[in-house]
A and B are shown apart, each in its own frame.
Chain A
Amino acid sequence: MAWPTTSASTANLDSGSDNPGLARADIKQNIDNVNAIVAEFGEVVITSPSNGQALVYDSANSRWINSGSGGTTAAYLTWSTGPSVWTVQNDQFSIVNSVSSNNLNLDAGTYDIILSGTIAAFHSNPGPEPNLNTLKLYNTTTSTDIDSIGYTQIMHTDNDKFKIYGVSSAHTFTLGATTNVSITYTTDAEDVDGNLIATLYRT
């Protein structure tokens, strides 16, 4: 059933003296239009919409819902080491509650985060190879890992002073309550320096 293109006239219904009996065709048109709208969407469930959400199809429940899962609500951040710190660049949809050093405070909900950048592990003097051993998205509030962040060693200098890692990683995670989220790493290097850009979506 196609979306309605004919408006139902109210000419026989808009005055107190009108006879509804004469509005039969308009009543039918109205019913046809309502039926067409309902049929076109199937089902729509809008629950507590927030700024920036769009109407998105939820195939699991065969209905349209309000959601940011289409990537419609994003905050743009950076994360850097030495010491580890988040910086909010742009958060027009107020996805981030607050930032305190390496803690990104987020409300309960489901989020996507996309991370990209470089991290270098280095020694000041040649010696054992400097390694970035782990890199994780971490729930500071509950002291649990959220996910391992993907990274690849892209360069290693022959003098064993430093290795450079490329970070490219995308994650979906759900928080059950207001939570501090951080990035943690382990290394056997004398020091680690890096900069990541992060795009955070609230779904």
Chain B
Amino acid sequence: MAWPTGSISTANVDQGIDRPRVAREQIRQSHVDADAIADEFGTVDTTGVVDGNILGYDGTKWAPSDNLVVEAATYAASIGAGNEFDLSDTWSSGDTVSKNLTFGGKDIDRNNYLSNTNADNPTIVAGVYDIRIQGPWAFEVIRNSGTNVTGITPTISLIDTDSSTTLGSFTSKVPASLTNDLDPTANEYEHLLYTSLSLRHTFSTATAIRLRGSLTIAGSGSSGLFKIGAGLQVRFVKI
């Protein structure tokens, strides 16, 4: 039985002097439409519904659910770390140096939450989002001059570039001694990292955002080159 189309006239039942007998066809159609609605849904049982529930099918009936995921957008955010150092990517002790990640690639975004992707500064449409950023990233720092590097603090940050505000950040763990390198070589520091950043944020208007990987390099009078690579996944769930 198909969903009803059209609206039933109440011309013969909207006045006190109207006689329902004359409205027989409309009364009949009302029954048919009500049956069609009930038939289309099967059974709906909203018992126990609470704020935030979704009407979902549980195998036998339509009922409120608190364990269904709503529409989301999933993007890759990445930056490749080539085999060679980019000689323009330099650091000096005390610096925080950074690289912007590029959005795009293989993604799913049916509702077009993001625009201007395939760039490092996409725009997200206004709304409240739960944002989860996770995945592997890595850095390599090479010291060309000065004394030893005494510490490296690697951080992934989500930034509102319209207001130059950091919305959230996650600092990955690196051993204080800078040991456990992937390739132990004097004056070279290579680490494979993981980031896991979750936040809820309200964008009151369409906002340009940026994902940035940064390294704060501690030492004294030292300098050198760095590179950052990342292959992160960013998931936007609009709530």
Name A residues whose Cβ lies closer than 8 Å to a Cβ of B. 20-21, 23-25, 27-28, 30-32, 34-35, 37-39, 41, 43-46, 49-55, 63, 66, 69-72, 74, 112, 114, 116-118, 129, 147-159, 161-162, 164-172
Contact = CB atoms under 8 A, between A and B. Distances in A.
B74 A155 contact: no
A166 B232 contact: yes
A27 B25 CA distance: 12
Nearest to B188: A158
Most B-side CB within 10 Å, residue of A37, A41, A51, A169: A169
19 contacts: A34-B34, A35-B8, A38-B7, A52-B57, A52-B58, A54-B56, A55-B55, A55-B56, A74-B69, A112-B108, A114-B74, A114-B235, A149-B106, A152-B229, A156-B81, A166-B231, A168-B135, A168-B231, A170-B106
A72 B54 contact: yes
B120 interface: no
Given A27-B13, A54-B54, A156-B83, A38 B231 contact: no
Contacts of B30: 27, 30-31, 34
Interface of B: 2-8, 10, 13-14, 16, 18-21, 23, 26-27, 30, 33-34, 37, 40-42, 54-59, 62, 65, 68-72, 74-83, 105-108, 110, 134-138, 140, 182-183, 185, 188, 190, 192, 229-233, 235
Nearest to B72: A71
Given A53-B56, A152-B80, A38 B108 contact: no
Most A-side CB within 10 Å, residue of B5, B6, B30: B30
A168 B42 CA distance: 40
A114 B40 contact: no
Contacts of B183: 157-159, 161
B181 to A, nearest CB: 9
Contacts of A69: 71, 110
Contact of A70 (B5, B16, B59, B68): B68
B69 A166 contact: no
Q: Is the interface of B mostly helix, strand, loop or mixed?
A: mixed
Contact of A53 (B19, B57, B78, B185): B57
Name the 9 nearest CB pairs between A and B, nearest first: A166-B231, A154-B229, A168-B76, A155-B138, A157-B183, A28-B13, A150-B106, A51-B59, A169-B106
Contacts of A153: 80-82, 229
A19 to B, nearest CB: 9
B40 A45 contact: yes
B230 A152 contact: yes
B37 A37 contact: yes
Most B-side CB within 10 Å, residue of A38, A66, A155: A155
Given A28-B13, A156-B83, A71 B71 contact: yes
B233 A168 contact: yes
Nearest to A153: B80
Contacts of B108: 112, 114, 170-172
Contact of A116 (B19, B40, B135): B135
A21 B21 CA distance: 7
Nearest to A38: B4
Contacts of A156: 81-83
Given A34-B8, A41-B3, A55-B62, A70 B233 contact: no
A31 B83 contact: no
Given A71-B69, A172-B108, A166 B229 contact: yes
